Amino acid sequence: MTTTQNSRPAPDESGGAPERPDTSGGTAAPLPTEAGHVSEKEARQVAEAARQSTWDRPSFGKELFLGRFRLDLINPWPGSDAADDARAEAFLEEFRAYLTTEVDGAAIERDARIPDEVFQGLGRLGAFGMKIDRAYGGLGLSNLQYCRALMLAGSVNPAISALLSAHQSIGVPQPLKMFGTAEQKQRFLPRLAAGEVSAFLLTEPDVGSDPARLATTAEPTEDGSGYRLNGVKLWATNGSVATLLVVMARVPAAEGRRGGITAFVVEGDAEGITVERRNAFLGLRGLENSVTRFHDVFVPSENVIGGEGKGLKIALTTLNTGRLSLPAMCVGAGKWSLNVAREWAAERVQWGRPVGEHEAVAQKLAFMAATTYGMETMLDLCCRLADDDRNDIRIEAALVKLYASEMAWRIADDLIQIRGGRGYETAESLTARGERPAAVEQLLRDLRINRIFEGSTEIMHLLIAREAVDAHLSVAGDIIDPDAGLGRKAKAGARAGVFYAKWLPTLAVGKGQRPTAYAEFGPLATHLRQVERASRKLARSTFYAMSRWQGRMERKQAFLGRVVDIGAELFAMAAVCVRAHAERDARPQNLELADLFCRQARTRVDALFTALWDNTDSVDVAAARRIIAGRYADLESGVVTPPADLPWVATWSPGPSSAPDVRRRIPPRE
């Protein structure tokens, strides 16, 4: 769970620019000759080469952004394997019992530390091997059941979910599962399933979402037996306790050597590794997050994952499913918040009535319930599609990460407002006064990082937008590419003519205009008709914007963000309708929740469509230039500002560490 920071304007590192897709069979773009000094074009090339450029499996999200409402891709609601579900339920029962009887979430928050005994207990249960195949000693849970386990853990203390998620979703197990050799899996996965902890190290002090500037190097040894790692990694979740690491480093290109950003499995206790400090944050106080230095750390060649130059592609592909763990924690937070809000709003009386009966609070309760149902449904669907493995979920997983992290934050903020002063008060203080210790302020602090973890909201908007316009760039990218010659532009024009002649007419009329369409969904049919119509409208708006701005489209980040937000709402609306319809006999109340969610979502979609063209974007950008230039600096007078004697981003130099090693080692369980 490496933090991604927007410390510099980086509009294109997620592929948000109208850049030609990689059609070279996956050849990585050459890295700049000097780390940390790259042009905007070089940064785009590196990121573009790392993204998956083909669509060999269906994607509901991709079709949605193209104005094609392919309901058949999610309806009927995907099922799951009964035997696997039964095994998972047995584990989840045992897991719940352990969490409720043996784990003190308040103590973790108070001490800013997950006790050794909890690490050992989680290992004994197999929680570190939930996603690892049973052939290697893991539990082999599906994505769906794994996310349910993370919800449980997060409801006791979110730092436990972060520990388990960073270890399994982006740490060593997932990259090895997808790209590792049979020998690597046999060597490392049993250790991890048994309770050893792993971490993922990509971010550096001055490198967040712009991997082209990666400065950690991996120099091949003269005898060819391995590499020497040198560099500093920042914000490595689990970094201070991990015994196995996935490290991203630059291998220099040479004759006969591809080079490029490469993924390595590194032993956490290897000579030359120093955990220089454990970082402290606004929330997730129990998080073991490190600054880690590598000085001439030897890594054998057999520890390269997937081959040289494949590191970023491995990272991005891993995140396609790895991102599902974060919304799982957001969904758990929504459920917890709804419980607290419901019970409080029913019991607390003001002005002669329970506060939940006052319209101002009732609106918040309705939003919390509907949105929690929407988030859970999106996550449930994405997990089932991922478990099926017949679907490309890169857009869907990114959408649910983006949507859930934003909406869970709003839910927690509303919960504090509903609770009033008690929402702002700590659980410890409430307990001391003899009141129920609802840790609402902690929830808000813990949730805030989810809008930054694994791709900030701004980066996610651009990443999803890049995938959403991929079909257009595939046929017409050369037309707006300043580096394309006349021949390439002519060929692109011919391709575009054929594509748009077939595609544009499909955006004029559709099933959503027929009053009887989707009648089998009963009262929810009207919402599905709206999704179909809005999908075509969204595609038309995107096409018009590309025609209007062409190569400048990459700069229209606010516009692209709204396009993505509309797509997220439409995806959620479709998902809740299909799920509620499938469960109409077992859970008829969910039809009401689905209708409520869709009514609220439609108002948000309408506002977003209006804001596509009626906004202050250009004025804001111009104002920002003046602000940065200091034109309004006198507005900052009258307060004491942070001292200016230290840099905003600390520099580092290669070499041995001068700091004490603060790594923490968990004693083996007896």
User: Which residues are catalytically annotated?
Assistant: 454
Two structure tokens written together for 145: 């059941």
Helical ranges in 389-485 per DSSP H: 394-419, 421-424, 427-432, 440-448, 457-468, 470-480
CA dist 302 and 384 (Å) reads 34
Identify the DSSP state of 522.
G
Residue 551 CA, distance from chain mean position: 27
Measured on CA atoms in the order 147, 5, 404, 21, is the torsion positive or negative?
negative
Cβ partners under 8 Å of residue 409, min gap 6? 444, 447, 448, 450, 451
Which H or E run contains 298? strand 289-300
Cβ partners under 8 Å of residue 61, min gap 6? 393, 395, 396, 399, 467, 468, 567, 571
CA dist 444 and 612 (Å) reads 30
**Strand-pair category, 244-251 with 198-201:** parallel
Two structure tokens written together for 210: 């712009």
Which H or E run contains 198? strand 198-201
Partners of 198 in the beta sheet? 244
Give me the long-range contacts of 592-595 (CB less than 8 A, separation at least 24).
Answer: 593/369, 593/370, 593/373, 594/373, 594/524, 594/527, 595/523, 595/524, 595/527
Q: Is 447 exposed, middle or buried (0-12, 13-18, 19+ CB in 10 A)?
A: buried
Which H or E run contains 543? helix 525-549
Residue 308 CA, distance from chain mean position: 25
Residue 528 CA, distance from chain mean position: 27
Classified as helix, coil or strand, 379 is helix
CA dist 19 and 477 (Å) reads 7
CA dist 162 and 154 (Å) reads 8
Q: Which of 12, 14, 31 is nearest to 250 (CA)?
A: 31
Helical ranges in 244-349 per DSSP H: 311-322, 325-347
Residue 648 CA, distance from chain mean position: 26
The neighbour count for residue 222, using CB atoms within 10 Å, is: 6
At 571, which amino acid appears?
F
Which H or E run contains 228? strand 226-237
Classified as helix, coil or strand, 217 is strand
At 578, which amino acid appears?
V
Classified as helix, coil or strand, 428 is helix
